[in-house]
Structure 1
Amino acid sequence: MPTGVHLRDPREHLFQAAERVLLRDGPDALTSRAVTTEAGVAKGVLHRYFDDFDAFLAELVLDGIARMEAQATALRESAGTGTVAGNLTQALTEVFGSVALAIVSLITFRDGLRARLRQTRPVGVPVLAEATDMIAGYLAAERDLGRVAADADVETLALMLVGSGHLLFAGRESTQPDDAAVRRVVASVIGPVTR
């Protein structure tokens, strides 16, 4: 392994390598050696920045959640534009078409990671919980604009959309559901409350 190679942002470099391994080989193949090999660095580099591998994985999850916050802001700002179904279709495709789906599998697969994440996120599955909050926030904004019924339970609708989206995208080896399939699910969930 190379040593003495200067990395601009070693943590981000390691996160990107972990995401590639996770997407390509799945959660059971994600080891510290696989990450450092993928990143092209010595194994000690990972342990220089993280206490142990579960600490690294927890930071990987939190990094993905932080990126989702930017998506949540953009989705809320789209309220009142396009169609509600179109905006939600795009949001679900972005969430589940990314590494987020693989991270959910990783959280499910690794007990130590789940236990570490429970210390700061005691409720829900990280990533799915944030996706649910993102969708609920958007639906609330649309409700305020009158494009979603005033009595709509946006939290329940968000749970339904995220759960359905997760099931729609999960377990696919190489192909994602097409836009029409995602839109059908969205329309089924929100049809009764949208104008």
Structure 2
Amino acid sequence: MPTGVHIREPREQLFDAAERVLLRDGPNALTSRAVTAEAGVAKGVLHRHFADFDAFLADLVLDRIARIDGQSAALRRSAGTGTVADNLTRALMDLFGPVAVAIVSLVIFRDELRARLRQARPTGVPLMTEAAAMIASYLAAERDLGRIPADADVDTLAPTLIGAAHLLYADRAAPTPETTTVRKVVTTVIPAAP
């Protein structure tokens, strides 16, 4: 690899490369060498921007968690429009894209990564905890609008829905669940969802 070549947005380039390796080869194959080779950069580039590989992985996960904020805002804006079941089905299908499922596997697979993430996110499984908060916020908005029962326990329904949906997507080798399958989970967990 040539030295002295300026790399635009090295963090994003490395994050994107890590995602490609993770999607193609799984968490076992994710090494600093695999990431830098995939990114087409010298290994030193990663270590110039991150203290070590687990710091890189923690930043990757935190960056991907930050993307949930945009999804959360869009889901909250959908409250009162369409149907609750359709809004939740779309949100879950967007949430559990291949990258998110692979990142959850990565977090579960690497003890040191989980330990580092606990410093920034002390409770729950990173990504899933934020996803549950996103769903709870949306359900609270729909409850306020009278579209789900006033006594709906959104703080219990949200993680239940996230857990049930995650089981549909957890097998990376299986085909992506059909919309009707995800919608069935939504209407089973939240039976009053129109």
Q: TM-score, normalised by structure 2?
A: 0.97
Kept in 2, the 8 Å contact 1:149–1:194? The answer is no
Please list the CA deviations of residues 8-35 of structure 1 after superposition, one character each: whole Å capped at 9, or x if unmatched.
2110110000001001110000000000
Alpha-carbon distance between aligned partners in 1 of 2:98 and 2:91, rounded to the nearest angstrom: 11
- Partner amino acid, structure 2, of 1:108: I
Aligned counterparts, 1:1-195, within 5 A: 1-173=1-173, 175-191=175-191, 193-195=192-194
Deviation readout 1:47-76 (Å, 9 max, x if unpaired): 000000000000000000011110000000
How far apart, in 1, do the equivalents of 2:74 and 2:141 lie?
Answer: 12
Q: What's the % identity of the aligned pairs? A: 70
Q: How many residues align?
A: 194
Whether contact under 8 Å (2:187, 2:193) holds in the other structure is: no
Say whether the 8 Å CA contact 1:13–1:39 is kept in structure 2.
Answer: yes
Render the CA deviation track for 1:139-171: whole Å, top value 9, x for unaligned: 001111110111000011101110001101111
Cα distance in 2 for residues equivalent to 1:35 and 1:114: 19
1:103/1:38 Cα in 2 relative to 1: closer, same or farther (>3 Å)?
same
Structure 2 residue matching 1:99: 3-state secondary structure? helix
Rounded to whole Å, the distance in 1 between the matches of 2:32 and 2:174 is 25
Instruction: State how far apart, in whole Å, the 2-side matches of 1:2 and 1:146 are.
Output: 61
Alignment deviations for residues 69-126 of structure 1 (CA, whole Å, 9 cap, x no partner): 1000000011011110001001111111241111110011111100101112111000
- How far residue 2 of structure 1 moved from its aligned partner, in angstroms, is 3.5
Asked if the contact 1:58/1:116 (under 8 Å) is kept, the reply is: yes
Could you tell me whether the CA contact under 8 Å between 1:3 and 1:41 is conserved in 2?
no
Deviation (angstroms), 1:4: 2.6
* Secondary structure of the structure 1 residue equivalent to 2:163: helix
> Root-mean-square deviation (CA), in Å?
1.0
Contact 2:93 2:182 in 1 (8 A): yes
CA distance in 2, matches of 1:14, 1:150: 46
Unaligned segments of structure 1, at least 5 residues? none
Answer yes or no: is the 8 Å Cα contact 1:65–1:130 preserved in 2: yes
CA positional deviation for 1:174: 5.2
For 1:161 and 1:14, the matched residues in 2 are separated by 32
CA contact (8 A) 2:104 2:126 kept: yes
- C-alpha separation between the residues in 1 aligned to 2:2 and 2:154? 51
